[in-house]
Amino acid sequence: MARFGRLSAGYFVGYSKVMFVGGLIGGKAALKLSNLWLRSIFLTFVVDLALKILFYVLFQRKNNLQRLPGIHERNAWTEKHAV
C-alpha cells in the first residue's frame, strides 16, 4: 500500500470513493436523529478519545520512552553504522 511515503493511486481512489459513500450514508442517518442523540453520541466519542489519550500518556508512552536509547546514543550509533 504505502511504501516510503508513497501511496498507490488505486488505493487513493478506492479510499476516496468509500469515504464519500460513508459520508453520504452518515449524513442521511444524522439528519434522521434528534439533536439530543447527536450530542450524546458526539460526547461519548469525545470522552472515549480523551480517556484513550490520557491512558496512553500515563502508561504506554512512559514505558516506550524508557526502552528507547538517549538521543546522543542514537546519533553515535548512526554515525558508526552509516550506509
- 16-72 per-position pLDDT tens digit: 999 999 999 999 999 999 999 999 999 999 999 999 988 887 777 655 555 555 554
Q: Residue 68 gets which letter from DSSP? A: S
Mean pLDDT across 3-16:
76
- Structure confidence at residue 65 (pLDDT): 54
- Structure confidence at residue 3 (pLDDT): 53
In this structure, are residues 9 and 19 in contact, taking their beta carbons and an 8 Å threshold? no
Dig out the grid coordinates for 82 from the structure.
552509516
Q: What is the pTM of this model?
A: 0.51
- Structure confidence at residue 28 (pLDDT): 95
Burial pattern 1-10, b for ≥16 Cβ within 10 A else e, equals eeeeeeeeee
- Structure confidence at residue 55 (pLDDT): 85
Dig out the grid coordinates for 76 from the structure.
553515535
